[in-house]
């Protein structure tokens, strides 16, 4: 598997006829321009397929077997000039950048009982995200760039903050080709997940994830939440009361026992 992950990144360099090493360290303007306009997500895809299972992430395995590959992928993303990408390619790039940076942040801090809520959620505030323009925090990437730029509420089912109550991380990377279909599937799966969004039809109650409370404006406003959830779920929730369930910041770790 380790050999496969390295080979996957050859695709970046093979387009230029250069050795794979140039995908890691371009040495002229032509190589840099090539990489800047060709974000490649195969390496991240392989890492996720190997380490994400049953909605959990095997952070210990990433630390022990894939830390170098994850760093290589993030260095590649840091050279991408997102302004030259089409809308879907750019959104896929930003989602992968967020999720890969979040995973690296957890791996770097990994210990028994670790939670991203530690130290007043400091992991979201540190300038951990590397881009071609500047370093920024995960909060900056999500709230200062992705949400205002794309105005797409489906991103809330794709950006995974490593907490148990977050939408689950997919065992694959995001790509432009099927981005809309995957985002639709993500949101529907999240809405219909009764562990995260319980529904009591007898009492006509929707108990939604805190994500819908925190970002109500992204879904059309608090008074439109039942309509939004109903449309996604294919159900009529008109007249249902809406409340919000507690959010677990426990790590979405494969090794953590319930």
Domain boundaries, the chain: 2-244
When the pLDDT of each residue in the chain is averaged and rounded to a whole number, the result is 88
Structure tokens at 79: 């050279």
For residues 163 and 59, is the Cβ–Cβ distance under 8 A? no
b/e burial code for range 234-252 (CB count within 10 A of at least 16 → b): eeebeebebebbebebbbb
Give the model's pLDDT for residue 244: 98
The predicted model scores a pTM of 0.86
The residue among 116, 12, 125, 9 whose CA lies nearest residue 68 is 9
pLDDT value for 233 = 97
> pLDDT digits over 158-208, tens only?
999 999 999 999 999 999 999 999 999 999 999 999 999 999 999 999 999
Give strand pairing partners of 162.
none
Q: Residue 147's closest CA among 219, 65, 69? A: 219
Q: What is the mean pLDDT of residues 85-90?
A: 96
Task: Quickly tell me which residue has 């992991």 as its tokens.
Answer: 123
Q: Is pLDDT of 9 > 80?
A: no
For residue 42, count CB atoms less than 10 angstroms from its CB and return exposed for 0-12, middle for 13-18, buried for 19 or more: middle
**Separation between Cα atoms, residue 59 and residue 36, nearest integer Å:** 29
Lowest-confidence pick of 32-36, 136-140, 163-167: 32-36
pLDDT per position as a tens digit, 239-248: 999 999 999 9
């Amino acid at each position: 598997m380790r050999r496969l992950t390295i080979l996957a990144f050859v695709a970046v360099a093979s387009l230029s006829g250069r050795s794979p090493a140039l995908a890691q360290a371009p040495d002229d303007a032509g190589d840099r321009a090539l990489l800047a306009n060709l974000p490649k997500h195969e390496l991240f895809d392989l890492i996720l397929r190997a380490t994400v299972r049953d909605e959990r992430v095997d952070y210990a395995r990433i630390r022990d077997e894939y830390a170098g590959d994850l760093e290589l992928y993030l260095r590649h993303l840091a050279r991408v000039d997102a302004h030259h990408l089409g809308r879907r390619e750019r959104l896929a790039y930003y989602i992968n950048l967020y999720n890969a940076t979040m995973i690296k942040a957890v791996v770097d801090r990994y210990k028994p009982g670790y939670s991203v809520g530690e130290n007043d959620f400091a992991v979201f505030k540190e300038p951990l995200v590397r881009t071609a323009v500047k370093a920024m925090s995960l909060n900056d990437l999500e709230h200062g760039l992705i949400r205002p730029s794309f105005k797409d509420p489906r991103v809330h089912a794709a950006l995974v903050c490593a907490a148990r109550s977050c939408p689950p991380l997919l065992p694959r990377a995001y790509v432009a080709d099927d981005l809309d279909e995957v985002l639709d599937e993500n949101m529907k799966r999240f809405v219909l997940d009764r562990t995260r969004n319980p529904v009591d039809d007898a009492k006509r109650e929707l108990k939604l994830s805190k994500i819908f409370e925190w970002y109500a404006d992204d879904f059309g406003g608090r008074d439109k939440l039942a309509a939004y959830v109903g449309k996604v779920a294919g159900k009529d929730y008109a007249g249902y009361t809406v409340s919000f369930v507690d959010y677990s910041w426990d790590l979405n770790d494969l090794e953590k026992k319930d």
